Amino acid sequence: MTAIPTTATTAAPPGPAVPRPRGGVVQSARDSLVVAKRNLIRMARIPEVVIFGLIQPVMFVVLFSYVFGGSISVGGSTSPAAYREFLMAGIFAQTVTFATAGAGAGIADDMHKGLIDRFRSLPMARGAVLTGRTLADLVQTTLTVIVLAIVALLVGWHTHTSLPEVLAGFALLLLLGYAFSWIGALIGLSVRTPEAATSGGLIWLFPLTFISNAFVPSDNMPPFLRHIAEWNPFSATVQAARVLFGNLPPGYEAPQAWPMQHPVWASILWSIVIVVGFRTLAVRKYRSATA
């Protein structure tokens, strides 16, 4: 009887271990940092953008301090020094929010040049392109605020609280700037050219910043505008910064509106709502624009 030959199966040698990709939050954070680094390198290669971004807030500090300083009553005083301390929180807030136009123009420029399409071809988190851009803008805004604070100290601005409180005030300002950069991202994704993004990023900022307590006390406004100013997220952050810097006039009584009575909490809540809402809209717009 002839035995039936059997075929021996030889197991293949194990190949090299393939690293498991990091997904979810870790992958998105890593991709966002890569995009942020790319944007920071590009900003460093175009220093005139940073320089021009510094000129406007410095001009506002000098002009408002010396031109309007003795003309506006703050807490019953028309002292230029009193107005200068009242003013600076508003200038800081205006500076961080006006970075919105730059964020929108940068994203619109990337869309116009087809860079977003190249990013889309890479295995990366979809929201990382926008998150990286807003983080890079936050770094640039931080540098601008540092320079602006130095200029403010040179023209006579002072804080009257502890260092942690002062740092907390600047943190709230930067949080507001980061929140508004997501509004700029949505605008940049919604227009066709960087020029349109710049215009669209500024046209709504002027009424937002001027119908507020940034440059004049809201008590002197007509009732309708006063209510808008007191519930304005911009006003909440300005008021919180003044509290944390110790820049409220002597004998100052805050308006009865809740954001003015609790400005720190109001500033945090407004910024979180803006980040969550406009980040969701911007990422959705990004996906539909590159689909």
28 located within any domain: no
| Residue 237 placed within a domain | yes
Q: What is the mean pLDDT of the chain?
A: 81
Q: Is residue 22 part of a domain?
A: no
Is 153 among the domain residues?
yes
Segments in 192-262 forming alpha helices (H): 194-203, 205-210, 223-230, 233-245, 258-261
Asked if residue 23 belongs to a domain, the reply is no
Q: Where are the alpha helices (DSSP H) in 68-127?
A: 80-113, 115-120
How much is the pLDDT for 164? 95
Q: Is 128 part of a structural domain of the chain? A: yes
Q: What is the residue range of 239's domain?
A: 40-289
| Count of structural domains within the chain | 1
Report the pLDDT value the prediction gives residue 274, as an integer from 0 to 100.
96
The helix/strand/coil state of 77 is strand
Span 136-164, pLDDT tens digits: 889 989 988 998 898 888 888 889 999 99
Residue 8 predicted with pLDDT over 60: no
Q: How far apart are CA 224 and CA 213, in angstroms?
A: 14
Q: Is 46 helix (H, G, I), strand (E, B) or coil?
A: coil
pLDDT tens, residue by residue, 42-71: 777 777 777 777 787 788 777 777 776 666
Angle at the Cα of 178 from the Cα atoms of 244 and 97, rounded to 5 degrees:
75
What average pLDDT does the segment 75-86 reach? 73
- Say if 31 falls within a structural domain: no
Which pTM was predicted? Answer: 0.83
C-alpha to C-alpha distances, 180 to 99, 106, 137, 162, nearest whole angstrom: 8, 14, 11, 28
